[in-house]
Amino acid sequence: MYKDFFVGTAIQIAIIITILITSCSRNDSDSYENQYLEIPDSSFEAVLIEEGIDSDGALNQRMLRKDASEVSVLDLNFSNKGVISDLTGIEGFVGLRKLSVMQHELVSIDLSSNTLLDTLYLAGNYISSIDVSNNPNLILLDVQSNQLSAINGLSKAAHLKELNLSFNELEEFSIENETLEILKISNNLLHSFDVKRSINLKNILLTTNELTSVDFSKNVKLETLLISDNKIQNIDLEHNASLTHLYISSNSLTDLNVGGNQELIDLKVDRNPNLNCIKIESGQNIPNVSISEYQELNTSCE
């Protein structure tokens, strides 16, 4: 009887000890996760140390979460600490408003925790897709010179003013954003392009793509339209009375009427082999004009 009692008591004690050890281990783990961020990229951490952000000053693949949360501007460009290929840990920089990581080797990036971001530079990486659905405060987004074939969440960026997607691999692009004013999307593979629901666009850089047609009838605030080096066969600029600069060289135009664009001060329309006559209105003066030798401006084009 006494033997059974002691055996039972020993088992109960062992169970209690096991629970206590497990609980302590779990608490230690929770405490570590709450206190520290993992920073697996040594080049990333080296910059954070150099800038005094990672306060322990040691390359140990971690930093205090508190240190990260206090940063509002993070510039990782042109570092002498090596190339950054992994930005794991950026999720802890929850107060970040400006992030610049240009000319590195990022292939992906998750900024879903950085909801306060208003300025983002990621030019010159190898990113193939990006989602900014959780970055509603973006004002400027620059992801030029990557390998982008997809970008998502732009309609959620309710304050976006400037977007640079040039030198990527986009084949289709459509955006619904009423705050956007400047769009740069040259040197892609675009054959489909829709900005009808971005009615406040003023400047569009769309050179060197594969477009055969475009529609800017809803973009009545357009001032600058650079669309050279495409395959455009016709374009209607009747609704773009504010247009001051039109570059539409090296296309496949057969006719062009700029008579309704009385604000034009710079027109480049050369190297359109099937376009001989550019129609203007009587008395219309365009100070800067670039045309091929077989072309002319005329009030009457047959």
- pLDDT, tens digit, 9 for 90 and up, residues 33-45: 689 999 999 999 9
Instruction: Compute the average pLDDT of residues 251-255.
Output: 97
Instruction: Compute the average pLDDT of residues 15-21.
Output: 51
Same structural domain, 45 and 31: no
Q: Which long-range contacts (CB under 8 A, 24 or more apart) does 214-220 make?
A: 216/240, 219/195
Angstrom distance (rounded) from CA 137 to CA 140: 9
Does position 22 have pLDDT exceeding 90, yes or no? no
24 three-class SS: helix
Between 6 and 229, the more confident residue is: 229
Cut 0.85: pTM above it:
yes
Same structural domain, 235 and 217: yes
Same structural domain, 195 and 225: yes
Same structural domain, 58 and 32: no
Does position 157 have pLDDT exceeding 50, yes or no? yes
Same structural domain, 30 and 63: no
Q: Which residue segment(s) compose the domain that 289 sits in?
A: 39-298
Same structural domain, 73 and 158: yes
**pLDDT bracket for residue 7 (50, 70, 90):** very low
Same structural domain, 32 and 60: no
Cα–Cα–Cα angle for 232, 236, 242, nearest 5°?
115
Same structural domain, 108 and 185: yes
Domain count within the chain: 2
Instruction: Compute the average pLDDT of residues 186-213.
Output: 98
Same structural domain, 161 and 63: yes
HSE toward the beta carbon, residue 231, CA cutoff 13 A: 8
How high is the pLDDT of residue 33?
60
